[in-house]
Structure 1
Amino acid sequence: MIPYTYSLHKIHNASNFDFHPDNYSKFKFGDDLVAKAFGEALADGFIKDILVDNPITDQIVVISSPYCFIPTATFAMKNYFVYQLNHWLAENGMLVAQEAKVHRTITYKEDYGELSAEDRMKLIGNDSFHIDKDFLAGKILVFLDDIKITGSHERMILKMVKDYSLKNEIHMLYFAELVNHDIHPNIENHLNYHSVKSIFDLEEIIKSGNFCFNTRIVKYILNCDFNSFSIFLERQSNDFIRNLYNLALGNSYHTIESYSRNLNFIKNYLNNKKYKLI
């Protein structure tokens, strides 16, 4: 199965982008307002460049990038992509989109965006993806991701498609794609951390009123040096801390040794709060 691929932005140059790197960085760390802008822009581009001339009349299923318990940043972008796409589908008398989830089984602490193409495949190749095959029967599958750098995630998706013997028409959609392969894949981390140089840079995003948790920000906080982490945590609300802990457990981050000190600090903090209330 050869998928149709569409990307809104093409990366040709390591220092010149069609989108603002600071916004991309904020999006990757949970800025829902940027996720909305990105999702709507991707939907508008997909409609204008693809669907207007080649409308899909069958049932579309939109599928965000794989995750275990904590959604990725792409999940937030997916929500607004679906809203915007559904407006157009409904106005043109077509079926509105459905959604499905790709489940993944392995969590890891490595910073994926820093790795080479080979190391990415070594890391992600140990993972396995799962989806509800029966729900997808006879439908058009639109897999959504924020960026395509080496194509390793796409290869894993297509491996899943082959393993499940899916015969569906498949579209792979990306907000951005690296098309100049002379540029090292770690350009992804240049974008990821463009506006986040330390844990304290997260506070603007968290307190903006447009914040949503994702895997990246949870891992980043748990992997931070303990002194900075403890100072940062003192500035956060009880709800934020409780949500952080619940999400970390849901993704089995308590089994990762390098996260243990920070997680134990959160656990003790929450237990002490509970004790004081009693």
Structure 2
Amino acid sequence: MIPSPFNFVPNAANVMTMHLLDRLNNHIVDAKGNHVEYATVPRKISYMDDYGLLSGEDRKSLIAGDRFYFNSQHFEGRCLLFIDDVKITGTHQNKLVDLMRKQQLENKTFFLYFARYTGDRPNIESELNFAAVKSIKDLNRIVVEPNHHMTARTIKYILSADPDELYNDFLRFRSYRYLETLYFNCLNEGYYKIQKYQANIDIIRNVANAMKEKRHASPR
């Protein structure tokens, strides 16, 4: 079972994949079958644009610059289940199919989606992604949900916020552990190389360090 390819921070498709994998294996093992294995297709993303805003042709052009690693020896002869949250244009699926064809893999393959869009407005994906988030304030009620998962889209939204609003409306309400995770994810995704993100990354680091120092200075 393979989620939509990602770089370092798991995407929404990976969260869905783990949920499905746990429950599917529970049923399979109860039925005395062999469990489904988890695998990934590592991906080096070549762009920082909001993919959900793009047309079908723009998506195809951008993803052409990405690097995917497909372990053909590991996957050879296996039934492959690719999991994604929504199919808008099919660009990711087409990329994976092309990659398998180039490596001469003829596996039995299924692409499974939570939803499929059949209209002609690919940028509707962005509307869906941000339907419940109109400002950085809106993230406060989302990130405290017990089952919240930090994704690359969330991080980029945080890094795109107005610096003053970022601190006053969001960061000052977060725990040190959250801020530390957020900061390290910014580094591991390579966002520190993007000029428009650098100021907010510095703010996140400074707030996290200040909170850490305050914790250490507190009497025990």
**Normalised by the size of structure 1, how large is the TM-score?**
0.73
Residue of structure 1 equivalent to 2:199: 261
- Cα deviation, 1:200-247, whole Å, max 9, x if unaligned, reads 111111112221211111111111121221221111111111000011
Does residue 245 of the first structure (1) align with residue 183 of the second (2)?
yes
Q: Which of 143, 165, 176 is 1:228 aligned to?
A: 165
Residue of structure 1 equivalent to 2:132: 195
Residue segments in structure 1 that go unaligned for 5+ positions in a row: 1-61
Residue of structure 1 equivalent to 2:112: 173
Residue of structure 2 equivalent to 1:135: 74
- Cα deviation, 1:25-68, whole Å, max 9, x if unaligned, reads xxxxxxxxxxxxxxxxxxxxxxxxxxxxxxxxxxxxx0001111
Residue of structure 2 equivalent to 1:21: none
Moved more, 225-234 or 72-81: 225-234
3-state SS of paired residue (2:25): helix
**Normalised by the size of structure 2, how large is the TM-score?**
0.91
Residue of structure 2 equivalent to 1:147: 86
The whole-number CA distance in structure 2 between the counterparts of 1:138 and 1:154 is 19
Task: Please tell me the residue identity of whatever aligns with 1:139.
Answer: R
The whole-number CA distance in structure 1 between the counterparts of 2:184 and 2:163 is 19
Residue of structure 1 equivalent to 2:208: 270
Q: Which of 122, 144, 147 is 1:207 aligned to?
A: 144
Asked if 2 retains the 8 angstrom alpha-carbon contact of 1:107 and 1:251, the reply is: no
3-state SS of paired residue (1:167): coil
Asked if 1 retains the 8 angstrom alpha-carbon contact of 2:7 and 2:43, the reply is: yes
Residue of structure 1 equivalent to 2:121: 184
Root-mean-square deviation (Å): 1.6
Residue of structure 2 equivalent to 1:83: 22
The whole-number CA distance in structure 2 between the counterparts of 1:159 and 1:127 is 13
Higher relative contact order (CA 8 A, sep 6+): 1
Task: Please tell me the residue identity of whatever aligns with 2:50.
Answer: D
- Cα deviation, 1:120-170, whole Å, max 9, x if unaligned, reads 111111102112222212110000000110111111111221233222111
Residue of structure 2 equivalent to 1:40: none
3-state SS of paired residue (2:38): strand
Asked if 2 retains the 8 angstrom alpha-carbon contact of 1:142 and 1:171, the reply is: yes
Residue segments in structure 2 that go unaligned for 5+ positions in a row: none
The whole-number CA distance in structure 1 between the counterparts of 2:108 and 2:134 is 41
The whole-number CA distance in structure 2 between the counterparts of 1:227 and 1:240 is 19
Moved over 6 A (4+): none
Task: Please tell me the residue identity of whatever aligns with 1:85.
Answer: L
Relative to structure 1, the CA distance from residue 131 to residue 137 in structure 2 (aligned partners, 3 Å threshold; closer, same or farther) is same
3-state SS of paired residue (1:100): coil
Task: Please tell me the residue identity of whatever aligns with 2:206.
Answer: N
Q: CA deviation at 1:70?
A: 0.4
